[in-house]
């Protein structure tokens, strides 16, 4: 009868040890050898001239031909160090900034931790296209939602200071920018004067430079009350000779007003009209709307907008 060969556990452990040891030795030998590899080194630009906008078509890497042992090459493959280019040290031509790499070899060696006697950068220079920036003042729009506490409101909208900021950038982009919003904020249960600062929303405007990153906002907030006034309905544009009867003849105008201004409001300050020309065929009613009101009242509404009518023959 055939017997399967048996292996002692100690023999298996010994085999595994020597196999692992041999593998480690092989890896060390291979990594100790000298290799030549071409590696892309990413570029980071700093200190761009304030009067220039760097093109998106600028080079994003240089090619480094590295001659070193496998450990160093593996390091570059894994960690991929970047090269920082100081544009304040570049030479300016008509439409480009030219950074001569050969003039900055010591800095490059320190940044990349390489020996350029053994390795070399394929490019001699980096050419960075630019556009001269254009400046203009741009209106800032508040993106601020205010929810007042019960009994409070404001006569005026939220104001910004400054309400316009200086912006610079490529001419094509600058010419297309008319306004820029603030970051969106929401203020709830407001019962005091508003005052604070909010950042400018520069999303998707990375090509532009903003001389102000934030603006201040303010708004006087006061105690408000609701008032009402009974106002006659005035029908306009009635055809000559048409005998029109309508009802109701008066409506109630509800409004909100600063408590300090409450006594200044009277029914004669309002005018409610219906335009006969706006009636659609088949309708038996007109829509009332407020034509005149005091400047310092807001949140107006009518108790009745539909004004019924009949034509007498």
SS3 label, residue 266: coil
Can you tell me whether residue 153 is helix, strand or coil? strand
Collapsed DSSP state (helix, strand, coil) of residue 222: strand
User: Counting Cβ atoms within 10 Å, is residue 31 exposed (0-12), middle (13-18) or buried (19+)?
Assistant: middle
**Which phi and psi (to 5°) does residue 110 adopt?**
-70, -40
What residue ranges define each of the domains in the chain, with the CATH number in brackets? 30-132 (2.170.120), 142-220 (2.170.120), 225-312 (2.170.120.30)
- Note the pLDDT of residue 216: 97
Prior bond to 57 cis, omega within 30?
no
Q: Which positions of the chain have pLDDT values less than 50?
A: 1, 31
Nearest to 111 by CA among 72, 84, 79: 84
What was the pLDDT predicted at 181? 96
Whether residue 234 contacts residue 163, with contact meaning beta carbons closer than 8 Å, is answered with: no
- pTM for this prediction: 0.54
Q: Which two tokens stand for residue 182?
A: 């603030």
- The closest of 194, 193, 250, 261 to 226, measured between CA atoms, is 261
- The answer to whether the CB of 173 falls within 8 A of the CB of 207 is yes
């Amino acid at each position: 009868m055939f017997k399967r060969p048996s292996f002692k556990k100690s023999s298996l452990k010994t085999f595994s040890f020597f196999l692992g040891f041999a593998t480690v030795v092989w890896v060390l030998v291979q990594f100790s050898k000298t290799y030549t590899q071409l590696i892309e080194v990413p570029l980071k630009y700093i200190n761009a001239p304030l009067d220039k906008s760097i093109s998106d078509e600028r080079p994003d890497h240089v090619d480094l031909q590295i001659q070193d042992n496998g450990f160093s090459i593996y390091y570059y493959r894994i960690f991929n160090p970047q090269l920082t280019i100081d544009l304040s040290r570049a030479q300016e031509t008509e439409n480009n900034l030219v950074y001569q790499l050969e003039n900055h070899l010591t800095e490059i060696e320190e940044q990349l931790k390489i020996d350029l006697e053994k390795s070399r950068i394929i490019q001699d220079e980096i050419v960075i296209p630019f556009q001269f920036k254009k400046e203009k003042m741009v209106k800032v729009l508040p993106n601020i939602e205010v929810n007042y506490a019960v009994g409070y409101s404001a006569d005026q909208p939220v104001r910004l200071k400054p309400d316009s900021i200086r912006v610079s950038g490529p001419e094509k982009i600058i010419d297309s920018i008319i306004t820029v919003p603030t970051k969106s904020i929401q203020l709830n249960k407001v019962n005091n004067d508003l005052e604070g600062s909010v950042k400018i929303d520069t999303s998707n405007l990375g090509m532009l430079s903003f001389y102000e990153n934030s603006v201040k906002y303010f708004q006087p907030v006061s105690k408000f009350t609701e008032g009402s006034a009974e106002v006659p309905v005035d029908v306009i544009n009635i055809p000559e000779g048409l005998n029109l009867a309508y009802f109701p003849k008066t409506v109630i105008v509800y409004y909100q007003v600063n408590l300090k201004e409450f006594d200044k409001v009277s029914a004669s300050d309002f005018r409610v009209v219906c335009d006969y020309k706006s009636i659609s065929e088949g309708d038996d009613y007109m829509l009332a709307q407020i034509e005149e009101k005091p400047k310092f009242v807001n949140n107006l509404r009518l108790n009745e907008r539909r004004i019924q009518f009949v034509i007498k023959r």
